[in-house]
Amino acid sequence: MIFVTVGTTDFDALVHKMDELAPQLGEPVVAQIGRGKYIPQRMEYFRFAPSLDPYYERARVVVSHGGLGTVIEVLQRGIKLVALSNPDRYDLHQEDLLAALESRGHLVWCRRLQDLPLALAEVERRTLVPYSSPPCHIAQVIRRYLGLECKDCQRGEHSFSSNGYLDVVYWGMAHERRILWGGFPSLK
């Protein structure tokens, strides 16, 4: 199956083009169309779902807008991705993201909608480089900046995931308990 997703906004031009191509692709095409006005005639569609996981699990290829969340989610799952920058976004930031990820071989960036058939053919014949998230040190930077590092942190006695922004919350909850109920003797 080819899964098309436009995220929480709209990208009618992409949905319309995939609807035109769907009968020629030789496999089912399912589209998440968000707030778009165009209603597909030749492929299954829905506006929103509580989770896109069931669609990603069935997808052989994903055709997507260039939003960071969607792009990273698809790449982390190891699904082949053709991505397009949505020209209706205010600053064209999606182009920067797609250029960087394409230069590393993680996806096929379709720069012009009329080239979508070529991009679909290209993703079929290319072996894409698997994506792995770079290490995230934001939690340590925030703790240091706020002056919240404790001796346990300095010794590396806390274990944190690579998902740094959640670590700040977990770290704060763990340390708050010690500070509010009996103090935290190793705090600077």
Per-residue pLDDT of 159-180, as tens digits, reads 444 444 444 444 454 544 444 4
- What pLDDT does residue 24 have? 97
* Residues composing the chain: 188
- Give the separation between CA 114 and CA 109, rounded to whole angstroms: 13
Neighbour count for residue 123 (Cβ, 10 Å): 20
The pTM of this model reads 0.75
**Which pLDDT band holds residue 137 (cuts at 50, 70, 90)?**
confident
| Cα angle 176, 180, 186; round to 5 | 70
Per-residue pLDDT of 31-58, as tens digits, reads 999 999 999 999 999 999 999 999 999 9
Domain ranges of the chain: 2-125, 138-180
CATH number of 2-125: 3.40.50.2000
